[in-house]
C-alpha cells in the first residue's frame, strides 16, 4: 500500500474523483485531509485550467488536500491520469494530517510520507501566477473534452500559451 496526496481534480467533489471511487481500479482508503509540510506553488494554468503543483519546494503555500492509501493497481491508474513520469512526477513528501477519517492509527497532527504529483518541467513565468492553498474546480476542462491534437503540456512548458 502507498500513501498519495491529492490536491486538485482527484479530490472529493472534483471532476476526476471518479477514478478513486471506482472499485475496479483497485483499493483506496481515505485517510483524511492534510497539508504539505513544505511550501509549494499551486497554480491553475493552461487553456484547460489544470491545477499544477510546481516542483519548487520552499516557494508558495502549505497546500491542502486529501491523503489516500492505495494499492499498486490504483496507483497505476493515478499514474496514468497524471502521465507519470512524463508530465508529472510522483515525488515523496511529508504531509500533516489536519482532519482524520476516524481511523485509530492516523490522528490530527500526524505527519505521513507519501507521493505528490509535481510538475518538474515548467517555465519560470508560472511562478508569477497567484498561488493557491486549496484548489476548487475552476472551469477545469476534463481530459475527454480536450482535443487530442492539443496537449496541455506545451502550455506550461511554453508559458504563456498562445490561445
Report how far residue 24's alpha carbon sits from residue 13's, in angstroms, rounded to the nearest whole number: 20
Closest CA to 89 of 54, 62, 124, 38: 54
The pLDDT of residue 155 is above 60:
no
Domain regions of the chain by residue span: 2-157
Fold of 2-157: Hypothetical upf0131 protein ytfp (3.10.490)
Report how far residue 89's alpha carbon sits from residue 83's, in angstroms, rounded to the nearest whole number: 8
C-alpha cell at 18: 471518479
Unique residue bearing C-alpha cell 491529492: 6
Task: Please report how many Cα atoms fall inside a 13 Å half-sphere around the Cα of residue 26, on the Cβ side.
Answer: 17
Q: How confident is the model at residue 160 (pLDDT cuts 50, 70, 90)?
A: very low
Which pTM was predicted? 0.87
CB 9 within 8 A of CB 15: yes
Average pLDDT for 4-26? 94
Of 14, 21, 82, 133, the catalytic one is 82
14 catalytic per annotation:
no
The pLDDT of residue 146 is above 60:
yes
Report helix, strand or coil for 12.
Answer: coil
Amino acid at each position: 500500500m502507498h500513501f498519495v496526496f491529492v490536491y486538485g481534480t482527484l479530490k472529493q467533489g472534483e471532476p476526476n474523483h471518479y477514478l478513486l471511487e471506482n472499485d475496479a481500479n483497485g483499493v483506496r482508503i481515505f485517510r483524511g485531509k492534510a497539508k504539505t509540510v513544505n511550501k509549494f506553488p499551486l497554480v491553475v494554468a493552461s487553456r484547460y485550467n489544470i491545477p499544477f503543483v510546481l516542483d519548487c519546494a520552499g516557494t508558495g503555500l502549505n497546500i491542502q488536500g486529501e491523503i489516500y492509501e492505495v494499492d499498486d493497481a490504483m496507483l497505476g491508474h493515478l499514474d496514468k491520469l497524471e502521465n507519470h513520469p512524463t508530465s508529472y512526477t510522483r515525488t515523496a513528501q511529508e504531509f500533516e494530517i489536519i482532519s482524520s477519517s476516524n481511523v485509530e492509527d492516523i490522528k490530527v497532527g500526524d505527519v505521513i510520507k507519501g507521493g505528490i504529483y509535481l510538475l518538474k518541467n515548467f517555465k519560470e513565468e508560472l511562478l508569477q501566477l497567484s498561488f493557491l492553498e486549496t484548489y476548487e474546480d475552476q472551469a477545469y476542462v476534463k481530459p475527454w473534452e480536450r482535443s487530442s491534437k492539443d496537449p496541455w503540456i506545451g502550455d506550461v512548458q511554453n508559458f504563456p500559451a498562445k490561445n
